[in-house]
Chain A
Amino acid sequence: MKHLLARAALALTLGLGASAPALAQVNPTEKSVSEDALFQALGSGDYVVGRITIPDANAGYLIKPDNKIWAALQGDTLHMVSIVAIVGMIVLLAAFYMIRGKIRVDAGLSGRKILRFNVIERFAHWTLASTFIILALSGLNIIIGKTVLLPVLGEAAFGTISAWGKIAHNFLAWSFMVALVMVLVLWIVHNIPNSVDLQWIQQGGGLLRKGVHPPANKFNAGQKVIFWAVILGGAALSFTGFLLLFPAEAGTPADWQFFQTIHAVTAAVLSAIIIAHIYIGSVGMEGAFDAMGSGEVDENWAREHHSLWVEEVKGSSGSARAHPAE
């Protein structure tokens, strides 16, 4: 910005120097800094900035024309992206449910249970899940609430809900971050990609056809994708969200715009992924919810979806293999 002012000043001096001899009477105010000249010299992202006498240094920015670019991005593009991500995923899942139906346990339920997630794992998961849902809904409300909820609820109720939503968003974010770290520590060893995942992907995870069950460890390739999407997306949301909570530390308004855009796009994508995760963990697959519900899954479900993990567990506890006659 300094050099822009310097350039304007230089042009000014040159202008004065050239015109002074030609005019009999020089009017020093005539060749002043003008909006036209400053706008022509303005590069993208540049501001018209000057000196201010009040303590707020940010007030020195006189005109920031590029703020309108972010306004259009936020008002139109992100609005559209969020709607497409959420509605698109729901439509896709509805279509999948219509074609494929609920994925059943082919061998039927055995009635024997295996502990899949202990109480600490479930606590971490549900803390992350419940905070994420509130954060996602209150965040989504910020982007599309005025088109979806406002006409239904009216201005007063919508204003109250949004105000509470903002408070919830700002405070629950901290529990989300703690749970995110817990989940990372608990499950990262099970989520390192390996050769088993390639086979799982080649067979489409057995999602597309009945009776196909590629082998998998504790987590299959699809779950690993969810894990890393949550960890990386959650980290990006935490980082940008933290900076948006403390704008004074985050830098200039241009930085806030950048962080807000990253925050909104990441949230839209992650929300779409999580909707798919919720689907397959509830109505999409028989027996899947137990893993996070009671923590114990049916043995036949486990054999079909996590064959290598069952062998591992049974092998170590020594019940099924060691006593075949049982």
Chain B
Amino acid sequence: MARMKFLCDADRCIECNACVTACKNEHEVPWGINRRRVVTLNDGLPGERSVSMACMHCTDAPCASVCPVNCFYTTADGVVLHNKDTCIGCGYCSYACPFGAPQYPQTANFGTRGKMDKCTYCAGGPEADHSQAEYVKYGRNRLAEGKLPLCAEMCSTKSLLAGDGDIIAEIYRERVVTRGYGSGAWGWRTAYGETVTV
């Protein structure tokens, strides 16, 4: 089985935000929630870089270890998913996540958090693949169709890579060797305890 990961090659990202838009459109993500976002570091300075970030589908995911109702599970592909029927919207996963992935729709008084929403790696949820229930709660299940996440698939500069960790790391490594520089596999150290060394 593959171990699915994201890798954003920041030296290629042009901050076009197409990944953000593609994600919102594909999954009908509610207003106010962004499963993916683009952050620009050292904005306006020489050597600024933009990084597209979403849930990194961590190894030993911290969200899962703090969840009071154990609503998280990791698929055979290494994708971290959650069950919105079990989620109570306590917010702990958002305190624990190093990448700001979990978000909550405001549903009731006191700004009560609704069920958590985050990037599913276009892999849906615990419901039957391609069912209407799955689509409403989690969005499209592209992985079950044999397709990779749409954000990475439609990245115009092929900055955002999705796929098996070893393969995308090798692609990134080749790029760094060829062009002679690389700003790093953003988030890998934190999510997987290792980074891509060249």
Seen from chain A, the residues whose Cβ lies within 8 Å of a Cβ on chain B are 5, 8-9, 12-13, 16, 27-36, 38-39, 48-54, 56, 58-68, 70-72, 74-76, 141-143, 145-146, 150, 155-156, 158-159, 162-163, 165-166, 170, 245-248, 253, 256-257, 260
Contacts and interface: CB of A to CB of B under 8 A. Distances in A.
Chain A interface main SS type: helix
Contacts of B70: 146, 150, 155
A21 B32 CA distance: 49
Interface residues of B, number: 60
Chain B interface main SS type: loop
Contacts of A59: 34, 37, 39, 100
A71 B96 contact: yes
Given A52-B38, A59-B100, 19 more contacts: A12-B42, A28-B47, A29-B11, A39-B189, A50-B42, A52-B40, A65-B98, A66-B98, A70-B96, A71-B96, A74-B96, A75-B65, A146-B69, A155-B86, A162-B88, A163-B88, A166-B89, A248-B111, A260-B95
21 contacts: A9-B45, A27-B181, A29-B47, A33-B42, A39-B189, A49-B39, A50-B43, A52-B39, A52-B40, A53-B17, A62-B187, A64-B100, A66-B98, A71-B62, A74-B65, A145-B68, A150-B69, A155-B86, A156-B86, A163-B88, A166-B88
A284 B58 CA distance: 50
Contact of B95 (A29, A34, A248, A253): A253
B135 interface: no
B193 to A, nearest CB: 10
A52 B187 contact: no
For the complex of A and B, list the 5 residue pairs with the smallest distance between their C-beta atoms, beginning with the closest. Answer: A35-B184, A71-B62, A75-B65, A32-B47, A71-B96
B170 interface: no
A2 to B, nearest CB: 12
B48 to A, nearest CB: 7
Contacts of B55: none
